[in-house]
A and B are shown apart, each in its own frame.
Chain A
Amino acid sequence: MLKYTIQRILFMLLTLFVIIGMCFMLIRMLPPAQLDPTDIHKDIIEARREAMGYNKPLLVQFGIFLRDVLLHWDWGVSDKLYVGREVFSIFAEKMPATIIVNIYSIILSIPIGILLGIFAALKKNTWIDHTISTLTMVVISVPSFVYAFVIQYVFSYKLGWLPFLMNPGTDYFTWDMFVSMLPAVMSLSFGVIAGFTRTTRAELTEVLTSEFMLLARTKGLTKAQATIRHALKNCMVVILPSIFGQFIGVMSGSLIIEKIFSIPGVGQLYINSINAPDYPMFIMNTAFYTTIGLAASIVVDISYGLIDPRIRMGSKK
C-alpha cells in the first residue's frame, strides 16, 4: 500500500511537471502583455521581468521559474489585472470565498444525495424509485447556468427572498453573507446531490441483492438493521472516496457559478486572467487547477485501498 501510494505521488509530480512545463513554454512563447507607459508599476514589472529572464532562452526561463517557485514560493507579478502585485497573494485572498461557498454546498448536498439514493434503492422499481431516478437523470443533464438562472429568477426576482449577487467584502461568517451566498450554494448543490443519489442508488441496489443480506435477514435482523449494518457499510467503499474527492475539489470551485453570482473566488480570477489576459496569473492558476485535479484522483484511488482491505490486497500482487 505504501509503495503504491509513493509510486502514485511520484508519478503525479512528474505529470504535474510535464503539464506545467508545457503550459509555461506555450505561454512564454507569446509576446508579454504591453505595459501602460504612464503606470507607476511599469518599472517594477519590467525589472521583475528582466529578473525572470524574459529575454533568455525558454528553457532558461523555465529554470528560473522553477527556482523562484520552489525556493522562494514566488509566482511572479500580475501585469494586467492587478498591476504590480504578487500573483500568489492575490490568489490567497480569493481562496476563502471559494472554499466557504463550496463547503456549504457539500454540507448541504451530500446528506441529501445519499439519503435520496438510499430511499430510491430501498423502494426499488416502485414509482418513488422511478421518480427519483428520472429526476436525477434530468438534474445531471442540465447545465449549471440554467439552475443559476432559475434560482435567480424565482428566488431573487419573483419572490425577492434572496439577493442576486454575493455581498462584497470579506466578513464571511455573518448571517447576511450567508444568505447572499445561498443562491450560489443552491446552484452548486443540484449537480452534487444528483451525483450522490445516482452512485448510492446503483451501489445499494447491487449490495441489497447479495447473499449476505439474505443471511443477515435469516439470522433475525430486521430490514433496517440489516441495511444499516451490512448494506450501507459495503456501499461506503464507493461513496466515501467520492466524498473525499469532492472535498479536494471544493478548492477549485466552479467557474460559471462564481461568474454568475460574482463570488470573489479563484474561479472568477481564472476566467478574468484568461480574458485579460494576465499570463503570470494564468500560469499560477493552471498549476493550481492541475494539482487539484491530480490530487483528487489520487485521494480517491488511495482511499479505496484504505477503506476496503480486499482492494488493498489486490494491489499488492
Chain B
Amino acid sequence: MNTTYEYIPKEKFEFKQLDANLHDKKLETKSRGYFADAMIRFKKNKSSVVAAWIILFLVVFSILSPIISINDIKTYDDTYTNHPPFIKAIADMEIGIFDGAIPRKSQSETQKLIWEAIGKETGLNPVIRVVGTTVQQEKYRGQMRDVTYYELENNKYYERGIVYRVLSYEEFAKIQQFQNETGIQVIYPYVESKDINGIKDNPNIWYAVSDAKGTPKLDKNGDFIPVYSTNEAMAGAEYNSLRIEGDPGNYIYSYAKSGAVHVRICYYNYYQYVNGHEPTFLFGTNVLGQCIFTAIGVGARFSLIFAVIVSAINLTIGAIYGAIQGYYGGAVDMVMDRIADILNGIPFIVVTTLFQLHLAQKVGILPSFLFAFVLTGWLGMAALTRKQFYRFKGQEFVLAARTLGASDWRLMFKHIFPNSLGTIITSCALVIPGVINSETSMTYLGIINLQETFGTSIGVLMSQGQTAMTSAPHAMIFPSIFISLLLISFNLFGNGLRDAFNPSMRGVDD
C-alpha cells in the first residue's frame, strides 16, 4: 500500500459545517432553586400532600365554625346538656342521622305510653323507632303474667317535653306575644295534680291516669283522655293567645303563684322563644350545654394560634442561642450547654405549675402558660442549630467570607444560618404538633383552666366528654377525631417537609 499524505489535493477536503456558529447548546431546562426543588420532592410524597390539605381544612374549619354556627360559645342552655347531634330538617327525613337519638333499653309499657303522650300533646314525638320488644314472665299480685319491655330509640330533645316554669307576668305576656307572632305553641294548658292522682313532679302528664306511676286510662278508642284544668278561679293571668287543638275555650294556661304564674311550657318551643331558633347542634352538646361544633372551633383556634406563637418564639430564641453556641464553641459552648442541660432536666409539668402559681395572678393564665412553654421549649431548636453550625462553620465558604472581612454576626446569620434553614423550618413543622399535644394534655388534666378566658379548649372538651362517656359518647368522639386528625396530619406534613428539604435524611426518624 503506497499512500502519501504529503500532498492531498485541495478539492478532496470538504467543509463539515458552514451555515452556523459552533458553540455549546443553550440549556433548555429552567434552573431550579433549593426551595423549588424541595417543593417538587414534597409533592411526590402523596401522604404529606394529603396531610397538608387536611391541615388546611381543619384550619378553615376552626376559623369558620364559630362564625357560621348559630350557637354562641358563651351563652349556652343548661337543659340540653350532653345531647347528641340534632338538626331538625335532617331528623325529619328519618334517615337515622342527626336525629338526637339515644337508646332507651328495657322501657316498660307505661313508660312507652308516657313518651307517646308527649308526642300526642306537643306534636314532637320522642320515640323515633322501636328497636325490639321482649316479653318477660313476671309475678304481679301473686299471679304470673306477661310483661312487655321495649327497646326504643328516642329523640333526647323531644323527650324533655313539657317542663314547669315560674314566670313573671311580664314574661308570660311576652311569650304570648311570641306565640301570636310565630304560631308556635309554648304554653300548654295547666293540669292540676288532684286530677292526675296527685302526681306533682311530672309535668308531662296531661291525661287521666290510673295510678301514681302515670299509667294512662285510655278511652274505648285507645286514646288518652285529657284532664286539663278548667278552674277559672285558679288561673294566674289573662291568656289570649294560641289555644291547643281540642280546647273548648275554657282551659286555663297558667296557675297563680304569689305574684307570678306557674305554667307548663314545651321546652323545645321555649328554647326557640329564648334563642330565636330551633335547637340545632351539628356535633351535639357537651356537659355544660355548649355546642360542640362551635366549641371545637374555638378550642382549635386557640390551640393553633398558641402553637404557632410558641413555635415562632422558640425558633427565634433557639436559633440565636444555638448559633452563638455553635459558632463560638469552646468554653462559651460548654457553659451555655450546661445551662441548657439544667433547664432540660426540669419536667414540663413542674414549670407549668410553678408559673401558674406565681405568675397567673399577675399577668394572667395565658401569658404564664406561654412563658412555661417558652422556658424550656427552645432547647430542642438550640441543639439543632448548634449541630448545623458545627457542620458548616469549618467549610470553605465561611473561610472565604471571613478572609473578606465579614464580621462574626454577618458570618453567623448571612452565611451559615441560611444553610441550616431547611432543617430548622422542617423541625418547626414537627414542633407545632408537640406544642398542641402538651397544651391539650395540660388543659385535659385541669392544671390550666382556660374556660373563663377562652370559653373552652380541646383538652377541656375532652375531659368534659370523659365524664359522660357512656351516655354521651359524641361529646368525646368529635373532639377526639379533631385532635387526632390534627396531630396526625401535622406529623405527616412535618415528615414530608423534612424528607423534601433533606433528602439524605429520608427514612431516618427522629
List residues of A whose CB falls within 8 A of some B CB: 11, 15-16, 18-19, 23, 26-27, 29-30, 134, 137-138, 140-143, 145-146, 149-150, 152-153, 157, 198-199, 202, 205-206, 255-256, 259-260, 270-271, 274-275, 277, 282, 286, 289-290, 293-294
Contact A15/B353 with A141-B488, A149-B480, A260-B466 known, Cβ cut-off 8 Å: no
14 contacts between A and B (CB under 8 A): A18-B342, A27-B354, A141-B484, A141-B487, A141-B491, A142-B484, A143-B440, A143-B483, A149-B469, A149-B476, A198-B509, A206-B508, A274-B353, A290-B346
Q: Across the interface, do A19 and B342 meet the contact criterion of CB distance under 8 Å?
A: yes
**Smallest beta-carbon distance B223→chain A, Å:** 40
Asked if B455 lies at the interface with its beta carbon under 8 angstroms from chain A, I say no
Using Cβ atoms and an 8 Å threshold, which residues of chain A touch B487? 141-143
Alpha-carbon gap, A199 to B508, bound state (A)? 9
Q: Across the interface, do A137 and B492 meet the contact criterion of CB distance under 8 Å?
A: yes
B102-130: which residues lie under 8 A (CB-CB) from chain A?
A: none
Asked if B350 lies at the interface with its beta carbon under 8 angstroms from chain A, I say yes
Q: Across the interface, do A152 and B483 meet the contact criterion of CB distance under 8 Å?
A: no
Contact A157/B357 with A202-B508, A294-B345 known, Cβ cut-off 8 Å: no
Alpha-carbon gap, A149 to B488, bound state (A)? 18
Using Cβ atoms and an 8 Å threshold, which residues of chain B touch A134? 47
Q: Across the interface, do B488 and A142 meet the contact criterion of CB distance under 8 Å?
A: yes
Interface size for B (C-beta < 8 A) is 41
**Smallest beta-carbon distance A254→chain B, Å:** 10
Contact A153/B492 with A202-B508, A255-B445 known, Cβ cut-off 8 Å: no
**Smallest beta-carbon distance A173→chain B, Å:** 29
Contact A152/B509 with A137-B492, A141-B433, A146-B484 known, Cβ cut-off 8 Å: no
Alpha-carbon gap, A274 to B462, bound state (A)? 20
Q: Which of A153, A199, A256 contacts B469 (CB 8 A)?
A: A153
Alpha-carbon gap, A15 to B354, bound state (A)? 18
Q: Across the interface, do B350 and A23 meet the contact criterion of CB distance under 8 Å?
A: yes
Asked if B94 lies at the interface with its beta carbon under 8 angstroms from chain A, I say no
* Chain A residue at smallest Cβ distance from B488: A141
Asked if B507 lies at the interface with its beta carbon under 8 angstroms from chain A, I say yes
* Chain B residue at smallest Cβ distance from A156: B470
Q: Across the interface, do B350 and A149 meet the contact criterion of CB distance under 8 Å?
A: no
Alpha-carbon gap, A141 to B433, bound state (A)? 8
**Smallest beta-carbon distance A10→chain B, Å:** 12
* Chain A residue at smallest Cβ distance from B347: A289
**Smallest beta-carbon distance B59→chain A, Å:** 17
Q: Which of A11, A150, A256 contacts B445 (CB 8 A)?
A: A256
**Smallest beta-carbon distance B212→chain A, Å:** 34
**Smallest beta-carbon distance A20→chain B, Å:** 10
Asked if B305 lies at the interface with its beta carbon under 8 angstroms from chain A, I say no
Asked if B464 lies at the interface with its beta carbon under 8 angstroms from chain A, I say no
* Chain A residue at smallest Cβ distance from B489: A141
**Smallest beta-carbon distance A27→chain B, Å:** 8
B438-472: which residues lie under 8 A (CB-CB) from chain A?
A: 440-441, 444-447, 462, 465-466, 469-470
Asked if B473 lies at the interface with its beta carbon under 8 angstroms from chain A, I say yes
* Chain B residue at smallest Cβ distance from A291: B345
Alpha-carbon gap, A202 to B508, bound state (A)? 6
Q: Across the interface, do A26 and B358 meet the contact criterion of CB distance under 8 Å?
A: yes
